[in-house]
Amino acid sequence: MSLVVVGSVAYDGIETPHGRRDRILGGACTYISLAASYFTKPSVVAVVGEDFEQDDYNFLAGHGIDLGGLDRVPGKTFYWSGVYSADMNDRTTLRTDLNVFADFAPKLPDRYKEFPYLLLGNIQPSLQRSVRGQMNGLRLVGGDTMNYWINDYRQELLNTIREWDFLLINDSEARLLSGESNLRRAACRILDMGPHTLVIKRGEYGAILFRKDRYFIVPGYLLEDVFDPTGAGDCFAGGFSGYLAQQGLDIHRCDIEPQELHRAVIYGSVMGSFCCEMFGVERFRTLTRQEIDARYQEFKRFTEF
C-alpha cells in the first residue's frame, strides 16, 4: 500500500577511499523511495530545480515511484558534497548549497492525503509536522531526524515526534535526545516522548528495535567492500517502512506480531547493506527483489543458533 515519503532530492559530490563522484543523484527522499520501491509504492514529496536531469526522473519513475509530489521550481537542485575518512566512519561536509530546498514547503497532492503510510525524512521538524497534519486516515507514521534539530529545535522536534509511531535515529542522536549514554535507558526515555517504536541505527554494528516491553538486535551485514556509505541509513528507513507498508501493518494495534517488526528491521538492514556496495544510488540500477530475499536468508543463517 502507498507510502508517502518526504525529504530531500539532491545532487551529491562524494569522495571515499574508493574514488570520487560529482553531481550524482542523492538525498534522503531519493534513497528512502528507491529502497521502499522493492516492497511498496512510494509517493514522493520533494522539490528540485530546473537542472534536475530527465534521466534521474526516469530512473525513479522506472522503480514505480509516484512523482506526482516532486515539485520542479526555478533555481538549482540542493547540492551537497563531502569526503569520508579512511575507515569511512567519519565524513566531513565540504559544501552545502540548499538552493531550491531553502524554501521547501511540502504541499501534498490531494490524492496523497488519503494514503495510509508516511515516512518523514530528515528535514526541519515543523515541516515534518505540517505534512503529517495534511494527511487523513494515517495508519502508520514515522521518521528520522538529526543532531542539528535535536540541539537547536528541541521543543519543535518534541512536538513533532509526539505524534509519530516510530522514530529512526542513530546511537549518538539517541544519546543526545535522551540525555542518557546507556542505550537501554536512552530508549526508555525516548519511548516516553511519544513513539511506541524506536529503531536505533548503529552503522556497521547493525540496529536495535525497542518497544516498551521488548527489544530486538540485529548485527550489521559484513561487507567485504564498503564503497560508499552515503544513504545507508535512509535505505534502512526505506526497507523498514516499505516492508511494513507491504504487509499492510498498523503498528498502532497492540496485537501486532513482534516478529513482523523484527523482519522489517532485517529488510531495513538488507537495503542499507546493498546501498554501500556502489557509489550513490548505483546499486539500485541492477538490484532485484530476489537478491534482497537471498540476503534476508543470509541474515537468518549467520544469526541463528
Which stretches of the chain bind a second copy, using CB under 8 A?
86-87, 181-185, 202, 205-206, 208, 214-219, 222-226, 259, 262-263, 265-266, 299-305
Cβ closest to a second copy, residue 67 vs residue 266: 266
Q: Taking a C-beta distance cutoff of 8 angstroms, is the pair 289, 64 a contact?
A: no
Cβ closest to a second copy, residue 107 vs residue 185: 185
Q: Minimum CB separation from a second copy for residue 240, in Å?
A: 13
Phi and psi, residue 209, nearest 5°: -105, 130
Nearest to 19 by CA among 282, 233, 284: 282
Cβ closest to a second copy, residue 252 vs residue 300: 300
Cβ closest to a second copy, residue 66 vs residue 173: 173
Q: Minimum CB separation from a second copy for residue 302, in Å?
A: 5
Q: Minimum CB separation from a second copy for residue 217, in Å?
A: 4
Going from the C-alpha of 275 to that of each of 160, 279, 281, the distances in angstroms are 29, 8, 7
Cβ closest to a second copy, residue 55 vs residue 224: 224
Cβ closest to a second copy, residue 196 vs residue 202: 202
β partners of residue 95:
81
Nearest to 44 by CA among 165, 198, 57: 57
Cell numbers that stand for 82 in this block? 563531502
Which string of DSSP letters, residue by residue, matches 168-224? EEEHHHHHHHHS-SSHHHHHHHHHTTS-SEEEEE-GGG-EEEEETTEEEEEPPP--S
Going from the C-alpha of 200 to that of each of 56, 207, 245, 248, the distances in angstroms are 31, 6, 20, 23
Q: Minimum CB separation from a second copy for residue 290, in Å?
A: 20
End-to-end CA distance of the chain: 34
Reported residue count of the chain is: 305
Cβ closest to a second copy, residue 32 vs residue 226: 226
Cβ closest to a second copy, residue 120 vs residue 174: 174
Nearest to 262 by CA among 221, 223, 209: 209
Q: Minimum CB separation from a second copy for residue 30, in Å?
A: 27
Q: Minimum CB separation from a second copy for residue 178, in Å?
A: 13
For residues 227 and 1, what is the distance between their CA atoms, to the nearest angstrom?
32
Q: Minimum CB separation from a second copy for residue 146, in Å?
A: 21
Q: Minimum CB separation from a second copy for residue 85, in Å?
A: 11
